[in-house]
Amino acid sequence: MKPILSTLSILWIPLVIATVSCKTKQVEVKEWPSFGWMIKNGATTLPEGYKFTAYNMHHFMGAVDNFFYRHMVGINSDPSNPGFQNIILKPNFIKTMDFAKASYNSIHREIKAEWNKLNTNTYKYKIVIPANCKAQVILPKQKQVVKSGEHVFNVSL
């Protein structure tokens, strides 16, 4: 699949990444031209072109890092109660990846989430919820609310 992100304006990228088809295929592509190719070749800012000769002043991960936090590991604030006291954790397990790990420093302390592939259809999802917070954990075959602390889920797809 040819990456479509490479031909978009930086302003359109967040909208495209938010679509279901782009969540797994477009961001993980490592061939030229793609974000994966840029990262593999040392880009830390978004270049004007693929030869890295033009001035690099664009915020590189502005759209992509949001994808990693919100969609891959699933760390989201509850829109009905902003501020991360109520957290929504809804990860996407990507079959071509072995793990994903992220943390977010909220006003209530650090929120951690990570998943590791155990085999083709089984994952371990580990989360850490700060004190005095709770999280709604939404997984493919289960949904539950947990209180602060460390929690581990075995997930079968």
Higher pLDDT, 31 or 89: 89
- Higher-pLDDT residue of 19 and 130 is 130
Contact 17, 67 (CB under 8 A): yes
**pTM higher than 0.75:** no
User: Which amino acid belongs to residue 121?
Assistant: N
| Domains, the chain | 5-64 (no CATH), 73-156 (2.60.420.10)
Query: CA–CA separation, 99 vs 94, rounded Å?
Result: 8
Residue 156 amino acid letter: S
The 10s digit of each residue's pLDDT in 42-86 is 776 666 666 666 656 555 555 566 777 888 899 999 999 989 999
- The reply to whether omega before 33 is within 30° of 0 (cis) is yes
